[in-house]
Structure 1
Amino acid sequence: MAVKNATNPDYSLVLYKELTSAQVRGVQRQLKAGGLKQIAKGMLSNLPEESWPALIARERIRVTGSLFPNAVISFRSAFNGGMPDQGVLYITHTYSRKVQLPGLQIVALKGAPPQQGDMPIQGHGIYYASEARCLLENLTPSRGSNKKAVGREEVENRLLTICKARGEHVLTALREAANPLANRLGMIKEFNILDSLIGSILRTRTSTLITSKGRALTAAPPYDSDRLEMFENLAAVLRSQPIHQADEVARTPQAMIHFAFLESYFSNFIEGTEFDIQEALEIVLSGKPMPNRPKDSHDILGVFRQAVTPAWMHQVLASGPPVETQLRKRHWDQMRERPEVEPGEFKLKRNRAGNTAFVEPELVRGTLTQGSLLLPTIPAGLPRALYAMFLVSEVHPFNDGNGRLARLVMNSELSVVGACRIIIPTLFRDEYLDCLHALSREGNPGPFVSAMERIQAWSAGFKYDELDAVIEKMKQCNAFERSLVQHRLLNP
């Protein structure tokens, strides 16, 4: 019985196991007088019966410790963090027994007592199974509609999550802890399964994994299954949703050069490479970097070169393994004057943008390959362009230049079908990035597709034959502004 104070005891839940003999006699008198009601043998309450399920749920650890002292929360209940599943809490005790309480059934299974690593739950005389014990128990055979164990597939998923979140060394430590424990628990067969699963995840033996995430990890090369699911969802939307596509407007050689310059200028501005537009124009016209800003100048020139050279302009993204070589060559050409970013070499460290963490380095090749296999299933033009751009952006395969490369890949898919390439003006930057984040973090492609459809139409609304005139017109449309609070992007 929890006591608030000597004069005002708490009778919401009274457990005989917690009382002295004198206290038991006192509450029995109250039971006879009607001040308390019996929930189960040795368990009383002064609360109305309709509140008992919530009471038992709140006090389930205390109740379980009272009924089954020195028991271990085990099997699927341990797997679920100590929470009941479908109203059932599984424990291991010295004997088997089922106790039905309001809103909760406690299923005690005969088994080994607390072992080294099992964690005592303070003050309740009950233990929580160690991670190694929990995994072994949940690989045991289980029959019936209410299975005590979650089974192999769920254990595999848990091991994959542990590996991703905490590292491979944690799996090795788990296996070392489970080996002697399996002998004490009589779970040798279960350990052999666990050993096989961990070995498969660590790629030290032939894979026995059955989940989609497991197959992705052990594929050759391995890939990011979560990203692939995201790519498949985007591809499905792009296949099924009608998307309006604007025709090419920069048709003369001069207009193409002007468009390529503005494309490069704004694409670099998105990444923080900021120049006055006349400074940027001087770099492009002269083909020489500014002496005081050589790296930023090369970024402008690298994007401009691929935006204006026919061989790059019309190079659609490959499908399957060739995509690796193609993107490495394209990146090398784009960043060849920036040796410090290792042009053409896939990243060795995971990169981030704000709260978004991109694909792990060891999964880059496989994720690009698997993701690119969806390209032929998507209609050519703007739908395929948006997919190609997001694929490169989401994988982020290189140390630097990924955003610019992704937009170049997108625009190549447009040029090859005679559609207008896309310019992302400065004032549209935040909306563009917000839509990418919504797709990356929430898996919602709607805002991204809609925004890119609108900005392509905006890009097609100018005449690019006279550069000074198109720059002035873009200024009138607020293209060069930064604050969405003070300005809105106007249509030409």
Structure 2
Amino acid sequence: MTALKKPTSLDGPLHVYSELTPNQVRALQRRIAAGTAHRIVAGLASTAPADEWPALVARERNRVLAGLFPGAVISFRSAFAGGAPVDGVIHLSYTYHRTVELPGLTVVLVKAAGRAAGDLPISGRELFFPSYPRLLLENLTTSRSHIQKEAGRKAVEERLLTICDSRGENHLLELLDQARELSAALDLERELKVLDGLIGSILGTRSTHKLTTKAGKAKSAAIPYDHGRLALFEKFAERLRANPLPEVASPVKTATARQNFAFLESYFSNFIEGTEFGVEEARGFVLEGLPIETRPKDSHDVLGVFHQASDPGWANQTLASGEPVLEQLRARHADQMKERPEVGPGQFKDRVNRAGNTEFVLPREVRGTLVVGSQLLPTVPPGLARALLAMFVVTEVHPFNDGNGRLARLVMNAELSVAGACRIIVPTLFRDEYLDCLRVLTREGDCEPFVAAMTKIQAWSAAFVYDDLDKVLESLRACNAFEKSRTQYKLLTPTPAAALAHRTAVSLRK
């Protein structure tokens, strides 16, 4: 990298002697003697008033450090913080020990190895940022100084867990290999043993260094689980316990209505996942037994959800709490996806799955996260509250390679059926709002939009009469349920008068 050019004049408020020519140094000294410039410390001067020096040093920090301590490496807590001071202190590995007070900044020089393999210059200057393996090793040291220099074991453990989650287990192994190559040159062999033990515990290959953080304990548990997801589930459960949700009774009273509702639930649930059929085409192969001639996989997806939405054994099955939830979900998924052997019906996922920028629970943490997440279910009221939590646990874990969204909505609706409440249909025009609110809950932990959206759509689902499929399809079309564009259409609710007329007509026909 090309070194920065030295300044050609004494313009500017801050002057580093090492950047100046001999003539410029003499000119600056004359200014200091005349009182138009001021010495800050040896090698550093300013023409600005003293009350401006802290801001100048902060703005030009890397330039100042490179000029005063050439070849220094940003180290310990400062490197752990990305090169920034911590509590007004910056640590540098240098050729001797000393503490230097600059305006607004304490520089702690630690006698340690200079630039090593992987350390990189900052902005082309004689100031270096350490490699990541060096950063980790240095922050596992212990000191007795009144100014703590290392971030410490707990902070390193948390950082390693973050690296594992964001970049994968192989990246941890690569860091460990690089640290082994560096440790002798840096005289950090003891710290290497600690790092080796921490990484081994995170990966489950060693148990010599017990993890101490909540996330670490979750990862090293007998059944590891996703600590962040559990915290999110707990927050959602707190919201559901604190504010009772309205209870909307099921409008479905007859076997015909249950079948029609199950068909519409399945049709729209699959539409959310991109399985798009015309409603009359779907009606043909689901309700009328017409042969499936095209798109057999997609057709079986619709049939799989319909079967569980209409079969009393599946439709009225509350989600288990604790370890029984594992076999229960595997059995439900195996039945739902039995015509799709390529996705592994009933087998938990073997690879990471994503939706947009959201990465779901890692395969090795699926079982533990389902177990600890489901243990929150009995703590929230039955009905809509428990249904939403059950759905959210399943969708956040995404335990299978395919079919997770449909499975989550089946679990939700089963909780509603058990409580005698109206099951939920998410129509096509509501799809984006449903997914947007779910995304806000996942990424920001904001429960309110999702709770409001699902409360709204449950009331909407209960506003129709399901005994006559032709009539309910007509009503759904009139309410724009099958439309896609939220900018062109608004989801309408049938008027009470229309619903009453429909119910009266059905009653007369009976």
Quote the residue 1:105 is aligned against: 106
Quote the residue 1:247 is aligned against: 249
Q: Structure 1 pair 319/112, CA: closer, same or farther in 2 (3 Å)?
A: same
Contact persistence 1:62–1:124 (CA under 8 A): yes
**1:473 match: secondary structure:** helix
Quote the residue 1:141 is aligned against: 142
**1:393 match: secondary structure:** helix
Q: In the TM superposition, what whole-angstrom CA distance separates every residue of 1:404-432 from its partner, at most 9, and x where no partner exists?
A: 11111000000011111111111111110
Q: Structure 1 pair 251/145, CA: closer, same or farther in 2 (3 Å)?
A: farther
Contact persistence 1:289–1:297 (CA under 8 A): no
The 5 A counterparts of 1:249-268 are 249-268=251-270
Q: CA deviation at 1:184?
A: 4.0
CA distance in 2, matches of 1:289, 1:321: 40
Contact persistence 1:217–1:223 (CA under 8 A): yes
Q: CA deviation at 1:90?
A: 0.6
Contact persistence 1:142–1:148 (CA under 8 A): yes
- Aligned-residue Cα RMSD (Å) equals 2.0
Quote the residue 1:87 is aligned against: 88
Amino acid at match of 1:341: V
The alignment's TM-score, normalised by the length of structure 1, stands at 0.94
Quote the residue 2:340 is aligned against: 338
CA distance in 1, matches of 2:290, 2:349: 28
Whether 1:437 and 2:435 are equivalent positions in the alignment is no
CA distance in 2, matches of 1:213, 1:397: 20
Q: 2:213 aligns with which of 211, 214, 230?
A: 211
Contact persistence 1:216–1:222 (CA under 8 A): yes
Quote the residue 1:292 is aligned against: 294
**1:57 match: secondary structure:** helix
Q: Structure 1 pair 400/172, CA: closer, same or farther in 2 (3 Å)?
A: closer
Whether 1:363 and 2:365 are equivalent positions in the alignment is yes
Quote the residue 1:71 is aligned against: 72
Q: Structure 1 pair 434/289, CA: closer, same or farther in 2 (3 Å)?
A: farther
Quote the residue 2:192 is aligned against: 191
The alignment's TM-score, normalised by the length of structure 2, stands at 0.91
CA distance in 1, matches of 2:296, 2:467: 29
Q: CA deviation at 1:79?
A: 1.0
Q: CA deviation at 1:41?
A: 2.7
Q: In the TM superposition, what whole-angstrom CA distance separates every residue of 1:273-309 from its partner, at most 9, and x where no partner exists?
A: 2222222211122335421232222122111111111
Q: Structure 1 pair 107/4, CA: closer, same or farther in 2 (3 Å)?
A: closer
Q: CA deviation at 1:99?
A: 1.3
CA distance in 2, matches of 1:4, 1:12: 15
Q: Structure 1 pair 145/265, CA: closer, same or farther in 2 (3 Å)?
A: farther
Amino acid at match of 1:91: L
Q: CA deviation at 1:5?
A: 7.3
Q: Structure 1 pair 38/303, CA: closer, same or farther in 2 (3 Å)?
A: same
Instruction: Say which is worse superposed, 418-427 or 212-221, in terms of deviation.
Output: 212-221
Q: In the TM superposition, what whole-angstrom CA distance separates every residue of 1:21-80 from its partner, at most 9, and x where no partner exists?
A: 322111111222333222223311223333322221122122122222322211101111
Q: CA deviation at 1:341?
A: 1.9
Q: 1:224 aligns with which of 226, 237, 255?
A: 226
Give the gaps of 5 or more residues in structure 1: none
**1:91 match: secondary structure:** strand
**1:99 match: secondary structure:** strand
Quote the residue 1:236 is aligned against: 238
Percent identity between the two aligned chains: 58
**2:347 match: secondary structure:** coil
Contact persistence 1:223–1:366 (CA under 8 A): yes
Amino acid at match of 2:41: A
Contact persistence 2:422–2:458 (CA under 8 A): yes
Quote the residue 1:11 is aligned against: 12
Give the gaps of 5 or more residues in structure 2: 495-510
Contact persistence 1:4–1:10 (CA under 8 A): no
Quote the residue 1:174 is aligned against: 175
Contact persistence 2:7–2:19 (CA under 8 A): no
Instruction: Say which is worse superposed, 85-94 or 176-185, in terms of deviation.
Output: 176-185
Q: In the TM superposition, what whole-angstrom CA distance separates every residue of 1:447-478 from its partner, at most 9, and x where no partner exists?
A: 00111011111111112122222221222221
**2:308 match: secondary structure:** helix
Q: CA deviation at 1:100?
A: 1.3
Amino acid at match of 2:175: L
Quote the residue 2:453 is aligned against: 451
**2:99 match: secondary structure:** strand
Amino acid at match of 1:435: C
Q: Structure 1 pair 384/89, CA: closer, same or farther in 2 (3 Å)?
A: same
CA distance in 2, matches of 1:117, 1:54: 31
